[in-house]
Amino acid sequence: MTTKAAAKAPHLDLAALVDDPGTRIVVCCGAGGVGKTTTAAALGLVAAERGRRVVVLTIDPARRLAQSLGLTELDNTPRPVAGVDPASGGSLDAMMLDMKRTFDDVVEQHATPEKAAQILANPFYQAVSSSFAGTQEYMAMEKLGQLRAQAEEDDSWDLIIVDTPPSRSALDFLDAPKRLGSFLDGRFIRLLMAPAKAGGRAYLKVLSGGVTLATQTMGKILGNSMLDDVQTFVAALDTMFGGFRERADVTYALLGADETAFVVVAAPERDALREAAYFVERLDAERMPLAGVVLNRMQRLAAGSLSASRAASAAEELADGEESPTARTTSGLLLLHEDLAETAARQRAHATRFVAGHPGVPVTEVPAAAQDIHDLDGLREVGGALLR
């Protein structure tokens, strides 16, 4: 029954996905260490060489994407990738999210020069923009929205590929508008706004024990002048709060639009597939457009290869027979084949169980590469496997 369910799994046709001009955004998500960044880069490269004008946005601070694309660095500005075949008229740019730089850009764009300078110099703002929980996810949405708006304005790109953080937090950007609204509308922020709206003495009267404890905790991090810094920050940023919420909601709607497709990347191992199941179920609950799942690094053996047990038996027979260099070499190769065959069988069993549990989810498999992917040729090979 399980095998039958696996045989009926719909095929994830990534070639059709990237060739479709109606696909404008592809979001690659998945657990860490499954090859998600490589998948995003490979999709971007093959899409560009099939005629799309692509920008790849990575939120993963690792440098793998820059290295595989032949760039010395990635930053908050899209940079063209050299070496892309121009025959089809496509192009490829790449960038890495700089959380604080993106926040700074938003402030400078939506505040007067005087007020922007006041906000950027504020110690509390500097802490929030660098390390506040949820800032990275919100700024990822902000940057995606910026890229989409730029693409609409100057027709620079017709496909945006987003490589998300390597953990379950990769889906936290789905909660960003709600979390941001809760923070901005929360009691603590409203208390901090009180001096500007009701006079300084009213502020001291409404501070509860819980808020006092919170301010003491934050004071240990930001120093004795924390309350003044926070109050100044809130007063300066007050006029921008509505804009933050509005843009976050617009980007959230964009993620659920027909032009967006989510691709969940997983390795064929128990923990990675458990994470993939979480992503699939969460996306379904949020009614986000899931294209399907990429089972990456599948170990494959040639048709007619020995099973693990037969390879082990053959190696044992050689070990019991003549001792010679040839026999030892052959025995070693048979033991290596046994390991590969066991890995392939284990991965196939995990993949079969996953598909049986999610029978309507399209799946495609990418074989394990013989070596690490570190250049465009390697990405093309991965891309070719993705689009089969």
For 241-272, the pLDDT digits (tens) are 556 667 777 888 899 999 999 999 999 999 99
Q: Does 146 reside within a domain?
A: yes
User: What is the pLDDT at residue 68?
Assistant: 76
Residue 32 above 70 pLDDT? Answer: yes
Across the chain, what does the average pLDDT equal?
A: 78
Q: Does 23 reside within a domain?
A: yes
- Same domain? For 294 and 314 the reply is no
Q: Which of 66, 241, 92 has the alpha carbon at shortest distance from 159?
A: 92
- Same domain? For 94 and 67 the reply is yes
- Same domain? For 325 and 261 the reply is no
Residue 205 above 60 pLDDT? Answer: no
User: What is the pLDDT at residue 16?
Assistant: 97
DSSP letters spanning 119-154: HHT-HHHHHHHHH-TTHHHHHHHHHHHHHHHHHHHH
Q: Which of 217, 241, 240 has the alpha carbon at shortest distance from 227?
A: 217
Q: Does 258 reside within a domain?
A: yes
**98 and 142 in contact (C-beta within 8 Å)?**
no
- Give residue 180's pLDDT band: very low, low, confident or very high (50, 70, 90): low
- Same domain? For 256 and 323 the reply is no
| Number of CB atoms found within 10 A of residue 168's CB | 15
**Rounded average pLDDT over 284-298:** 94
User: What is the pLDDT at residue 157?
Assistant: 97
Residue 227 above 80 pLDDT? Answer: no
- Give residue 85's pLDDT band: very low, low, confident or very high (50, 70, 90): very high
Separation of alpha carbons 126 and 140, rounded Å: 18
Q: Does 144 reside within a domain?
A: yes
Domain CATH code at residue 143 = 3.40.50.300
- Give residue 200's pLDDT band: very low, low, confident or very high (50, 70, 90): very low
Q: How far apart are the first and last CA of the chain?
A: 26
Expressed as residue numbers, the domain containing 338 is 308-347
Both tokens of 230, joined, read: 């926070």
- Same domain? For 362 and 328 the reply is no
Q: Does 263 reside within a domain?
A: yes
Q: Does 317 reside within a domain?
A: yes
Q: Does 204 reside within a domain?
A: no
How many domains, the chain? Answer: 2
Q: Does 193 reside within a domain?
A: no
**Rounded average pLDDT over 11-39:** 93
Give the H or E element holding residue 96.
strand 91-96
- Same domain? For 15 and 77 the reply is yes
Separation of alpha carbons 348 and 382, rounded Å: 20
User: What is the pLDDT at residue 222?
Assistant: 46
Strands 159-163 and 53-58: parallel
Dihedral pair phi/psi, residue 203, rounded to 5°: -60, -45
- For residue 81, the SS3 value is coil
Name the most confidently modeled range: 162-176, 188-202, 321-335: 162-176
- Same domain? For 170 and 315 the reply is no
Residue 278 above 80 pLDDT? Answer: yes
- Same domain? For 338 and 379 the reply is no
Residue 93 above 90 pLDDT? Answer: yes
Lowest mean pLDDT among 81-85, 310-314, 371-375, 376-380: 310-314
**230 and 236 in contact (C-beta within 8 Å)?**
no
Task: Convert the pLDDT of each residue in 121-160 to its tens digit.
Answer: 888 778 777 766 566 777 777 888 889 999 999 999 999 9
Both tokens of 10, joined, read: 């719909």
